[in-house]
């Protein structure tokens, strides 16, 4: 990644049996209510200035969680989209962001970039 965002990550909870269980209806409703932009504003109102690359990670991660939960993916499946299979092979989320970076025109706004990520993510989740 150009800015070093979305590098290898590991979630210990991927190995918990409940990670392979579907989200409950209440949890899906909670996930739908998440708003990364509002969370960023809330942090800022309390004196926390999130660096742009961290804000991007929060927005894209929230987007993936919401789209994945809506499609009935388990936490295990969503987590694996974010994790690398090997250190040398980019994760699916890294590949999605890389495709968006390659497709974005110079000077593309962050909102337009996130829209592009959304379309590419939808295509990935459909395949």
The whole-number pLDDT of residue 1 equals 38
Residue 108 is predicted with a pLDDT of: 96
pTM: 0.91
- In a domain, residue 2? The reply is no
User: How many angstroms separate the CA atoms of 98 and 68, rounded?
Assistant: 19
Residue 40 placed within a domain: yes
- Please check the confidence at residue 87 and state whether its pLDDT lies above 70: yes
* pLDDT value for 7: 72
The domain containing residue 19 runs over which residues? 12-126
Within a domain: 101: yes
Is the Cβ–Cβ distance between 35 and 53 less than 8 Å?
Answer: no
- Classify residue 1: in a domain, yes or no: no
- Number of domains, the chain: 1
Give Cβ neighbours of residue 31 (< 8 Å, ≥ 6 apart).
23, 65, 66, 69
- Res 10: pLDDT: 87
Where residue 107 falls (left for φ over 0; alpha for ψ -120 to 50; beta otherwise) is left
Q: Residue 7 falls within a domain, yes or no?
A: no
Is residue 44 domain-resident?
A: yes
pLDDT tens, 2-35?
A: 454 677 788 999 999 999 999 999 999 999 999 9
- Residue 48's Cβ-count burial label (10 Å; 0-12, 13-18, 19+) is exposed
In a domain, 82, yes or no: yes
């Amino acid at each position: 990644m150009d800015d070093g965002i979305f590098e290898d990550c590991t979630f210990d909870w991927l190995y918990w049996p409940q990670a392979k269980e579907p989200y409950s209806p209440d949890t899906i409703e909670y996930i739908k209510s998440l708003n990364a932009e509002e969370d960023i504003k809330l942090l800022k109102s309390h004196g926390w200035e999130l660096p742009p690359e961290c804000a991007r990670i929060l927005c894209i991660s929230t987007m993936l969680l919401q789209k994945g939960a809506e499609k009935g993916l388990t936490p295990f499946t969503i987590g694996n989209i974010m994790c690398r299979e090997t250190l040398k092979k980019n994760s699916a989320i890294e590949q999605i962001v890389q495709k968006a970076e390659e497709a974005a025109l110079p000077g593309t706004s962050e909102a337009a970039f996130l829209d592009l990520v959304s379309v590419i993510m939808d295509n990935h989740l459909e395949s």
